[in-house]
Chains A and B, each alone.
Chain A
Amino acid sequence: MGIQRSFLSPNLPLPSVAVEFLTREWTVGHLDLREWLVVVSSRQAGRRLREGLAALAAGRGAAVFPPLVVTPEFLLTFGDQVERVATAPDTVLAWNEVLRGLDFASFGALFPAPPRRPDFSWALATGRELARVKRLLAEGGLGMRDVETRAPEGFGETERWRALAELERRYRETLKTHGLTDPDEAKIARAANPAAPDSVKRIVLLGVPDPLPLAVEALKKLSETLPVVVAIHADARDRDAFDAWGRPVAEVWEQRVEDWDSGEDLFFPCSDAAAQARTAGLLLKECRDPARSAAMGAADPAVIPFLERSLPRDCDLAAYDPEGRPLKAEELYNLLACFRDLLRVSDFGSCGEMIRCPVVIRYLDHLPGLPPFPVWLRIWEEFGADHLPGDLAAARALANGEGRTDVVVRRILETVETMLGQFSQAPVWEALPSVLRTLHGDLRFREDAPADRRYLAAAEAVMGVLEEMRDSPLAAGQGAAGADGLDLLLGLLGDKHIEEDRPEAAIDVQGWLELPWEEAPFLVLTGMNEHHVPETIAGDPFVPESLRRPLGLKSNRMRFARDRYLLESLMKCRRENGKVAILFGRTGPEGEPMRPSRLLMRCSREELPQRVNRLFADPPSLERRSAWSSPWRLRPAMATPPERISVTQFGAYLRCPFRFYLSNLLRMEPVDPRKTEMDAAEFGSACHRILEAFGRDEVLRRSQDAAEIQAFFESELDRFFRFRYGHDLSVPLVIQKEAISGRLARFAEVQAEERRLGWIIEEVEWRFPDDDALCIGGLPVRGVIDRIERNEIVGTYRVLDYKTADQDREPEKDHFVEIKKNEDAEGVPEYARFELDGKAHRWIGLQLPLYLWALRGRCGEETVCGYVNLPKAVTETGISLWRNRSRELEESAYRCAEGVVADLQGGVFWPPAQKVAFDDFKDLFFGDIEGLTDPSDLRFHNSES
């Protein structure tokens, strides 16, 4: 029958000449092309072709019975198979089986350094790599076994390829025992013995500049029985520039000088991808009806997201990527990944991530016994923060522990664990659908809602792979359950894309190889950078360029010829009625330099220097750089007036009324989702709890025996930790526990000594009574005194507060400071100021004076007060008393307290203090609280003023 070449005019775009070619013989009636088999380069090309045919026919009031339009792949898969062809899961599992438990010793040439952990994921990754190599070789009709014989003279890696061939043999063997054949091998076999559907009477290879070598083999075979036409989008005069299969001949295209007009508006060097997107937008704007007359190519996919963002803004057009969205970016994928993580590590944090997935939220929300969202989530969060469970088992133990009422948490845990349980009992294709059915419940997805459609498409992709997994005869033994199964699934899903609907007013952003099928007269090419066009392979662990050529695989040279030809035809067909703009970036996403494609430098020698100057000229700077500014002032909300005030809040107010407002009245408190250990407050309160228990023990608190006291501390500490954090402590908690233990051990000695000096505990955790007497300005004052002691010998009292900061603290320093000379004394309210030793001071804390005030009448004048310091340096452990106390000072403190309450009630929260020791709000105000705050709502809800 034979092969014939046919040249389609390069002066018109490929779709129109292709349509013209196919309809040459059409005279009347509907356009019936059913006897044609048309091979095009991609599905998108096929779509364009069929649309073109339909449009042409419509012009004559006719319909089309289309030809069979296929990609070259079709020729390698059509026809009856003797053996079942392995699916993707089959092949992955087969590699896995071969690689697990490999005797590395006998594969030294391939694995000179055996892997550290040859586990499931190692096998998965390695299998993927080997499969890649195999696929690559198969394009040329080869297997790993063929490389040795075809390799060039002096080939240095013979041993290695022998090892690979052996692995390949084992792999094929594995498939074979399950009645399967490798898809690539099947294609090779098919290429030698291709088939075409009965309806087909002739074949055309239409505008495919680089058909797979295997497909060419198949066509060669088919041409024995069917006429095959190779239609080339080029001038017939250029016949020598193409081989029999329409492939550009490298020798010719390497020498060829460009023959298009490279005038003014052709090249647009841009600084980076963002600038390319912006320039593209400007160019489109210059065009009257861009949606219908312009198209865009993105040779560098990194430009696409920038186009997606800037085209709608700059020219009211959506940028549509026909490739679709990566499946990885879909909600469902993330849900599966959450399951996988949880199955792998089963920690509390991963579980938290999972229950924040919307479907899970929805499911839990309908669960009987749970309060509505977000209440249960908040309870869950608090549980985690309080108990720091390491993993789910620990969490369960804690939630179920004696005296616990964490119903919500228990319920959530049960639910999650039930779901997880399914994965350990059944293979993933059973467990997962069942879990997903449960989770999604009665949710319904509407095909006409875009978001739903994406969800549906993702779900279908997932189910498709699951089905293949189920049907894989190899899946029975391995990798089908639990995290491994999900890993396998996610791996197989990883590269898939989901098609999106094309919005009405949109510009398609197409890949380089799709562009010949684009008809729009104005073509904006972005990403025309070296390494993207032509794509260049530099190095390969198995099949580098130097090996590709002898093996007959696609090489850099062939890609160059193809792309050089493609560029020419894109330019040529727009010479008369159109225009091309070529954009490229000079820096990549990480600031790396990028070069314009060398395709753009195929001009004459004479012109080259000038061209180089043009292409490498500094791109115009489109960047704007504005000075720092804030778009708004932060306006804190109104607060609820306090019903009481605690002794420590006085200090907070004195240090900064504004921050007091934020933290005490608005109660701003951040959540640390990564919390793994106790925070400072919890650390302190743990110490308090133990000391409290000690103080309440009638016998022990009289003890003068440090060892005995310490033993008590230890057992209380154990009890406390067990209750709060369970049996299995995480490493940080063990260390914190030991830190507390160390501090208390030292204190046991201090305690014994103090006891010997006559001090006996009278009260611990003494709560201020709900007493009208303990009001200031009508506001009840609240406080808890850690310890009240009486000296049995002298009879005086001592009031103590525990401090667990890292450094030991002195009461004076916590309560007042000297007003420095350069400080604005006027800024300090009158009531907070006092004189001491002739120097101006100010109050910054009132805790101890207020303790004394609360105890007045009870303990007498000579009562002393101070701190029990439990700092990290054990040598500093001990009691530190407020030394320069005086009646006068106490009165001043009390006056100060009255002042604070009056200001508080009067709504004085402004201005803020300039400097504070620890600023919890630093991040919000960028060093300029006053400038960036709008204080107009700093007041109470019901204050009318």
Chain B
Amino acid sequence: MKKSIQNEMILASAGSGKTYRLTNRYLRLMALGAEPERIVALTFTRKAAGEFFDEILKKLARAAETPAEAAALAEGIGCPDLDSAAAAEMLATLVDRMHQLELGTLDGFFYRIVRNFPFELGLSAPPELLDENAMRMEKRRVFRHVFRTPGQSGEAARREFIEAFKQATWGSEEKRLSSKLDRFVDDHHEVYLAAPERELWGVERRIWPEGCRWLGSRVDHRRALAVLEERFQSRKLSEGQSKAWRKLFAAAEEWEPGSPWRPEFKTPLGNALKVWPDLEAGSAEYMIGRKALPLDPVECAALRDLVRCLFASELEKKLQITRGLYEILRGFESAYADLVRSGGRLTFGDILTLLAGGADQEQRPRLSQDDHGPGRLAINYRIDGHYDHWLLDEFQDTSFVQWRALSDLIDEVVQDAEGRRSFFYVGDVKQAIFAWREGDSRLFREIYDHYNWAGGPAAIVEQRMSESWRSSPAVIESVNRVFGDHEVLKTLFLSDAVIRWIDGWDPHRARHEDRQGCVRFFQAPDRESRHAAVLAVLREVDPLVRGLSCAILVQKNDQAAEILQYLRAHGEFPVAGEMDIRPGTDNPLGMALISLFKWAAYPGDTYAWEHVRMTPIWTIIEERRSSAERDSVARGILESIHRDGFACTAAEWIAQLERINVLDPFNRERGEIIVSAARAFDALGRRSVADFVEFLHDYSLHETGADGTVRVMTIHKSKGLGFDVVILPELEGERLDARRRKLAVSRTASREVEWVLDPPARQIVEHDSVLAAHDRTTGADACYERFCQLYVAMTRAKRATYLVTEPLKKSSSSANFVRWLNAALAKGDPVNVSCGDTVLELLYETGNPEWYAEFTPPPEAVTGDSERREAREYGVRERRRRGTPSRAKPRVVGAEGLFSLDSRRSLEFGSRVHEIFSRVGWWESGTVEELESMRNADAESPLMVRAFEEVLACLRASEVRAALTRPEGEVELWRERTFEVILDEEWLTGTFDRVTLVGGPEGRIQRAEIIDFKTDKGEGDLAAYTRQLAAYRRVLAFMTGLPPERILCRLLYTHRRELVTVF
């Protein structure tokens, strides 16, 4: 390579041209001489990877076509020499090597590695990738296994499992197991995989290496209560105090370790904690019933004991629950590993675990390109690729585990002494909205720091990009106000989150300074009116008519569905939801088909049956019933499912519904999806209706919006996209630091799990330094992720953003999006503005509210009749029916014959007999001896010997001998003569066993004889044989020009040594 290339880290704000940089980097590498197949570029979605490749190609194509574009590209990638010719050259290279390029997803890359190292990773064969649905089915199988009544050996394991379950659900007995277990596994399996060691779960000394302030006091809380009760009885408590005490007393008296933490504890215990040092000192002013109550040393001690006991019991319980949970997960996991994973059926998660290693880091395989040493997987040889340059996109979403799997490979690159290789990663820590999927945006900086310490000052160069090529100045202004106002942030949110945010923040600038646009912030009293406001905005701006793209972004899928429904009901423009749909069950047709199938397979399912009866399917069943009973309709459905599969059966019933004309376009489209989903299910080779129904319930698709529609989607899905107009009507919600995780998982700086605990009541968390610290971190992380979410939402717009929220509730102080936006944007009271014919309350506005005026609707395109092309005429080639006269197998086969191995032996025997007969020319005196010597040569094979015996026996019959004797005159003998002929447009293929042609003078054939050998033991199917011989006779007549009556047709039944003349 001509110039060495820097390793780079790029922090690219939204809209600042990340893809542009990434594609340019790729092209620069190529321009500097890198082979494209030695560049690996990985991102998160396959869609993004596809767009990335297309973009590179198109850039090159443009540059190759016009010198001006070439010059622009040359400048963009910093290679001034690049001209159109060079671009064309690069384009050709890229196209030639298309099959070797490594442009894809991280998951795909890892899968490729695992697929090629099965034995190294302890797998049996090439692994099979489980999709969501297959994984759920496997999980159910594992559950069934875990649930099953075991034999003697399993009894202990089962008991253990049950004990663990009881422990994990301590204090809240469960009467239903399946759903609970399902939830356990769904919620915590990942945590288990990251921390499979028992000593990490609910172990006191790991969580509190210095000892826990609360644990250890094992006095009975009722004793403390009794002391206080007795004391307070004798003291004059005010009415309020007395009431408050009674409340606490009653609650604590009833409370058992294990039962839920009581809300009654909150204030009185909180007040005790406030004066804890005084309590310890033996004299305290204790607030109870809103009045201070002085306590003496005995009372102080008792109150202290009470708090300690309650806290200790609760913590003790949580430790136990955590341990129980661990045992359950372990039980599940080991069954899962045995039944699923070891068979090579893996999820993407499993693949990562294999590559990154579970907890035991020493054991993990190390990926390498340079080293074949032990414990190393030398990837380049097996995956047919060798990579010098690495480009990682959306790096903020990379998980630590993913990074760990890659890190050895990257390490080889960064440490490469000769600098022939390079590493480039790009992303935006402000758009880290996938932390809940383990995205770990802290890696960004850590990697940078790591290498820049280790490899000299500039191992990796940092670049920050904060100029927006996407958004208008108005949009950027609002972004700066919301996200750059650090004072507001500090007053509202956890400081750790704010500090982290500020660290990644640079004020944004709009590249297109004169781009018209606006941001408007409305408030509306309730959900309904929020939706109405959306409609009003859409009507006013009228984006589709003006040729502008428009999206409505929401937080959750069901909100999207709701808005979609609202706009479809009230709006007059096309709206498309861009979300995960359940096409099997979100429509009446799908539900009806499910009921139909269930009824067929589960005749006791009256729900399904009555549902079917409510639909027009009933009409069809009624029709069929006229000829059959209702039950046989059900049976017919089952038979059809088993015979032709679910896809065909569903298609057939859909066709029936079409026939009676009841389907509408929407359900017709869904019907298509259902049929193709069913086809995927059928391919698994299963026919279980229960499985199919589950499959259809789970079957989900991502629906994408088309151009020319208002698109509704979640903020998460909008990442990476840009729209002219963005509306944000669903910003309501909980405080930003609300914790998402159900388990507290503490990790070290190197992300190793230190301990796991099912967190106790908040009050306890707050008063325990270890738990409180962990909780603060979790809260800050949650909060930061939500900053990112709003950031993504507010940076999607190219022109205008419209925010719609409900008014801040006086009573609530929770620091959510609405509060934040009010604090950062709204100044003063709302003003009424009209938006179309609706009046809306405006809280904030920037830019030109009528920015859209410059976009006038394009003149109606003149749509002439798109001329229908003339039907084309081509030459034709016939496809003839194909007939084989010898297919004279009996036309009807019974089970006896079909399922007996002996009948197959006789088939083989038959072909041997045929073969031996074909060796016999004319019967002569030496024929028998000749055959006998052949038989002796084949004495090894009993089958052959038997066949020879059969032929010889036939030859002993004089009738047969006569038939095989040479007739007088000019004679021609055909043995095993195959023919092809077309007669009456039918293409006939067959083999004559034996044909004798007898000619007269002048070589003209006078007559002929056909003999067909039949080796079956029974009567055979004479009718079929007759048909067969008739066909042979027809063919021979054609070949010889003989009239059919001159052709003698005979069957030789070898078993009976008998000749039968048919014609």
Contact = CB atoms under 8 A, between A and B. Distances in A.
A632 B686 contact: no
A634 B682 contact: no
Given A437-B895, A627-B666, A538 B588 contact: no
A249 to B, nearest CB: 17
B26 to A, nearest CB: 16
Contacts of A534: 99
Interface in B326-354: 337-338, 342-344
A65 B979 contact: yes
A368 interface: no
A356 B600 CA distance: 10
Given A113-B120, A667-B606, A730-B149, A374 B611 contact: no
Nearest to A535: B99
A97 interface: no
Nearest to A674: B690
B610 A666 contact: yes
B177 to A, nearest CB: 4
B144 A676 contact: yes
Contacts of A806: 175
A797 interface: no
A734 B891 contact: no
Given A116-B337, A305-B676, A626 B891 contact: no
Interface string A631-672: 110111100000000000000000000000010001111110
A534 B979 CA distance: 38
B968 interface: no
Interface in A258-283: 274
Interface string A907-937: 0000000000000000110100000100000
Interface string A717-733: 00000000000111110
Given A329-B683, A730-B148, A55 B878 contact: yes
A784 interface: no
A851 B541 CA distance: 65
Contacts of B1033: none
Given A924-B591, A932-B588, A382 B611 contact: no
Interface of B is mostly: helix
Nearest to A129: B125
B46 A65 contact: no
A407 interface: no
Among B158, B872, B880, residue most surrounded by chain A Cβ atoms (within 10 Å): B872
Contacts of B675: 309
Interface stretch (B54-62, B207-215, B520-528, B959-967): B54-62
B664 A626 contact: yes
A668 B124 contact: no
A591 B610 contact: no
Interface in A396-440: 429, 433, 436-437, 439-440
Nearest to A684: B175
A616 B894 contact: no
A608 B874 contact: no
B634 A631 contact: no
A346 B662 CA distance: 44
B610 A539 contact: no
B187 interface: no
B65 A113 contact: no
B4 interface: no
B110 to A, nearest CB: 13
A122 interface: yes
Contacts of A630: 587-588, 664, 667
A605 interface: yes
Contacts of B980: 50-51, 53-54, 57, 63-64, 66
B111 to A, nearest CB: 11
B64 A608 contact: yes
Contacts of A87: none
Interface stretch (A219-227, A515-523, A879-887): A515-523
Given A347-B144, A437-B895, A875 B58 contact: no
A467 B57 CA distance: 56
B98 A57 contact: no
A536 B99 contact: yes
Contacts of B717: none
A494 to B, nearest CB: 8
Contacts of A78: none
B724 to A, nearest CB: 19
A609 B88 contact: yes
Q: For the side of the interface on B, what is the size category?
A: 35 or more
A443 B896 CA distance: 9
Interface string A566-602: 0000000000011100000011001111110010010
A242 to B, nearest CB: 22
A796 interface: no
Contact of B642 (A357, A521, A634, A683): A357
A737 B894 CA distance: 52
B117 interface: yes
Contact of A739 (B50, B173, B892, B1035): B173
Interface stretch (A138-146, A286-294, A756-764, A828-836): A286-294
A83 to B, nearest CB: 11
A923 to B, nearest CB: 6
A445 B175 CA distance: 51
Interface in A483-539: 502, 508, 519-522, 530-531, 534, 536-539
B1029 interface: no
A735 B174 contact: yes
A889 interface: no
Contacts of A116: 122, 337-338, 342
Given A58-B982, A445-B898, A625-B669, A390 B148 contact: yes
Contact of B64 (A361, A592, A609): A609
A625 B46 contact: no
Contacts, number: 488
Interface string A286-323: 11110111100000000001100100000000000000
Given A540-B116, A610-B65, A926 B588 contact: yes
A356 B669 CA distance: 31
B58 A447 contact: no
Given A625-B669, A637-B610, A293 B178 contact: no
B126 interface: yes
A544 B892 contact: no
Contacts of A520: 874, 877
Contact of A126 (B65, B125, B565, B663): B125
A538 B383 CA distance: 6
A941 B894 CA distance: 48
B95 A629 contact: no
A662 B891 CA distance: 51
Given A522-B872, A632-B616, A538 B384 contact: yes
Contacts of B46: 590-593
A612 interface: yes
Interface string B68-100: 000000000000000000001101100110111
A678 B869 CA distance: 66
A612 B98 CA distance: 12
B177 A735 contact: yes
A612 B46 CA distance: 21
Given A63-B980, A331-B643, A631-B589, A293 B877 contact: yes
Of B117, B259, B601, B889, the most chain A CB neighbours within 10 A belong to B601
28 contacts: A51-B880, A55-B880, A63-B979, A111-B119, A126-B125, A286-B869, A286-B872, A288-B872, A334-B685, A334-B687, A373-B635, A391-B149, A444-B894, A446-B892, A459-B898, A463-B898, A539-B115, A541-B116, A593-B54, A609-B64, A625-B706, A637-B614, A730-B149, A734-B158, A735-B174, A743-B173, A806-B175, A875-B256
List of 5 A-B pairs having minimum Cβ-Cβ separation, nearest first: A593-B50, A440-B895, A374-B603, A113-B122, A390-B149
Given A65-B978, A293-B874, A634-B615, 12 more contacts: A110-B119, A116-B122, A117-B338, A286-B869, A334-B687, A374-B631, A541-B118, A609-B61, A630-B587, A674-B694, A730-B148, A743-B173
